[in-house]
Structures are given as C-alpha cells and as structure tokens.
C-alpha cells in the first residue's frame, strides 16, 4: 500500500503520524488545493511528493491508495474519481450522505477491482475486541448512555453568522454525522439494529443540527446517544447491565483508550490502549489492501451501509436537508 492524501486538516496529521509508525514510506504524496500549502504540508511530514491537482494524484504510479479527508460533501465525488482511476480508497467518515451513493461507490470499486473502506478508528481498536469479549460479564443490558459533547472551535464563528464547513448543509455537516456517528457505530457494532429509533436535534440558524440526541429502543433495553458541538460535557459511553457496568472513558471515538468494568462499585476488569491514535485501522487497511481481502472489506462495508442508513433516516427526520437530497 502506498498512500496519497487529500486534505490538510489535523486528522491528516494524525493519519500520517500513525502510518509512519507502521512504515515510514507508507505515505508517498500529499494533495492540497494550493501548491504552496501542499509543499508546506509535505515538508512538515518529510514526504517527497506534493501536488495541487487531483488528476495528477489519481494517475500517479507512486500511489495505489487515496486517503480522503476533505469536507464531507466531497467524499462521494472524489472517491468516485479515485476509484475510476483504479485507486483503492480509504474514506473518512461519513462515507457519503446517502446509502445509494455509498452503494454506488462499492459497485464502482468492484467493477474496477479495487477496494473502498471507511476510516472509523474505534472499529479497529484493540479495546473494542476486548470489550466484546467481556460483554457477558454485564448480564442483561438495561441502559446505554453516551455523551460526545465537544464545544466546537468553529461554533463561535457560526454564532456570529459565518458558516464553517462542519455547520454547512452544502458541505453535508452537522453534529450527527460529525460526532454522534461514533456513538451510533458502537451501538450497532455491539447490539445490532434497534426496534425503534429517533433523532431529536437542536437546529441552528441555517437548519444544521448543532447538537442532538439519538434515542434507541432495543426492547429489553434503551439507549440515548448525545452528540453536541454547541456545548460541552463529560465524554463517556456507559453500558449498564444487571450484573455490571462498562464505562468507556472518553467515549466512543478514537481508540477508546480506557475501558473499565465495575460491579457494585468494585472494579472487575479494565483495559488500556495507549498506542498511536490510528495505528490499528491503518494496519487493518494495509493488510486488506495488500492481500486484496474483499471478504473482510465487504463486511466493513455492510456495516458502513447500515450505519449510513440510520444517519440518513435520522438526519431527514430531524429536518436537516442537504442539496444532494434533491438529486
């Protein structure tokens, strides 16, 4: 795997730093819309090749995989272009705004004999595997509650009338797809589909969801998942069973670095994961791409499609409408 990157935000810094822990030569080229910025970004990360033109990136022999970390509305067209040039694609979350878009990307990947996958750090973490192996300790689950309330550094500008990408319907932003997606992913990975589902959102001055709460009814237990960019609260993801409680400090995003299981206030078990932020997912992607493991990638993609179907339903139910919804 030899990766070219799109985007110069902080997540790409993390991605490159994590990739270099696995193989210093994994990232071979970076793209930015301006050559000056591309050069500065490449120099910062000690990468030899930089471009300001996507076609050059997509046709380069130095690259077989494109990591896309652009604003959400560009995920679908950029991924489509990369796949049609015969490149594998690692796509930041959310993969698309609509199920039909991601299904189409999967079809195009298959037709071009390349792979596409969603970058959801938590789904590849060691601690997720650890948690799954300990779920029996909890007994019957009764309540799950999650909070990812992170006051956005861009919210002040938004309140002052500006529209940063993450609060822009045209860029397919909003709190649901930006951060509550992590809570939703973990719920669906651990418990599958709920019997009923709702999304109650606080909408800002341009109709975007600045915060909101997903309510899920699994019959024998209930869940509430909060994602907020307009206020702050203690992060966490807590699974309460009749026998014990699992607490993911820091919540459902990233590597879920510490999980503890307690029963009647006594620690039963715990796990730490202190590795480089995105290491596990990049290792998984490298292994899948190097061995052309379509079976594993298809399993990841079925999960991506399922989560996307809930994101799309929730967003539309809350009245958050993107321009692509009219297409």
Ligand X SMILES: NC(=O)c1ccc[n+]([C@@H]2O[C@H](COP(=O)([O-])OP(=O)(O)OC[C@H]3O[C@@H](n4cnc5c(N)ncnc54)[C@H](OP(=O)(O)O)[C@@H]3O)[C@@H](O)[C@H]2O)c1
Find, among 148, 190, 198, 195, the residue nearest to 315 by Cα: 198
Q: Measure the CA–CA gap between 152 and 33, rounded to whole angstroms.
A: 24
Q: Interface with ligand X includes 69 (CB under 6 A)?
A: yes
Q: Interface with ligand X includes 56 (CB under 6 A)?
A: no
Q: Among the residues of 63-98, which ranges form H helices? A: 75-84
Stretch that binds ligand X, among 31-39, 99-107, 135-143, 314-322 (CB under 6 A): 31-39
Minimum CB separation of residue 31 from ligand X in Å reads 7
Among 5, 8, 180, 211, the residue binding ligand X under the rule CB under 6 A is 8
Q: Measure the CA–CA gap between 177 and 71, rounded to whole angstroms.
A: 12
Q: Measure the CA–CA gap between 128 and 138, rounded to whole angstroms.
A: 15
> Which one, 36 or 113, has the nearer CB to ligand X?
36
Minimum CB separation of residue 221 from ligand X in Å reads 28
Stretch that binds ligand X, among 7-15, 142-150, 207-215, 255-263 (CB under 6 A): 7-15
- Give residues with Cβ within 8 angstroms of 56, minimum separation 6: none
Which tokens is 167 given?
Answer: 């609060």
Q: Measure the CA–CA gap between 245 and 171, rounded to whole angstroms.
A: 38
Q: Interface with ligand X includes 65 (CB under 6 A)?
A: no
The helix or strand, by DSSP H or E, that contains position 260, with its residue range, turns out to be strand 258-263
| Size of site (CB under 6 A) for ligand X | 18
Closest-by-Cβ residue to ligand X is 9
Q: Interface with ligand X includes 7 (CB under 6 A)?
A: yes
User: Rule CB under 6 A: which residues touch ligand X?
Assistant: 7-9, 11, 32-33, 37, 69-72, 74, 92-93, 119, 121, 165, 178
């Amino acid at each position: 795997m030899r990766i070219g990157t799109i985007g110069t935000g902080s997540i790409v810094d993390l991605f490159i730093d994590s990739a270099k822990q696995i193989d210093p030569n994994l990232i071979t080229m970076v793209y930015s819309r301006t050559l000056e910025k591309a050069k500065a970004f490449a120099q910062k990360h000690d990468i030899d090749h930089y471009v300001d033109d996507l076609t050059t990136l997509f046709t380069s022999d130095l690259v077989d995989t494109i990591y896309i970390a652009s604003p959400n509305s560009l995920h679908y067209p950029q991924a489509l272009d990369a796949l049609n040039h015969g490149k594998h694609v690692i796509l930041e979350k959310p993969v698309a705004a609509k199920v039909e878009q991601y299904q189409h990307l999967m079809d195009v990947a298959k037709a071009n004999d390349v792979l596409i996958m969603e970058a959801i750090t938590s789904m590849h973490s060691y601690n997720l595997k650890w948690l799954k192996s300990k779920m029996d300790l909890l007994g019957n689950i009764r309540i799950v509650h999650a909070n990812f309330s992170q006051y956005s550094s861009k919210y002040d500008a938004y309140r002052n009338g500006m529209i940063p990408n993450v609060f822009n319907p045209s860029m397919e932003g909003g709190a649901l797809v930006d951060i509550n997606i992590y809570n939703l992913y973990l719920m669906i990975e651990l418990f599958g589909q709920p019997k009923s589902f709702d999304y109650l959102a606080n909408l800002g001055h341009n109709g975007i969801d600045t915060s909101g709460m997903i309510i899920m009814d699994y019959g024998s237990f209930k869940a509430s998942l909060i994602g907020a960019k307009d206020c702050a609260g203690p992060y966490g993801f807590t699974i309460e069973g009749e026998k014990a409680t699992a607490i993911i400090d820091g919540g459902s995003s990233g590597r879920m670095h510490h999980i503890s299981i307690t029963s009647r206030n006594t620690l039963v078990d715990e796990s730490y994961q202190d590795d480089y932020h995105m290491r596990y997912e990049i290792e998984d992607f490298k292994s899948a791409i190097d061995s052309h493991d379509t079976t594993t990638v298809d399993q990841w993609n079925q999960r991506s499609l399922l989560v996307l179907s809930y994101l799309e339903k929730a967003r539309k139910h809350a009245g958050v409408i993107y321009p692509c919804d009219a297409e």
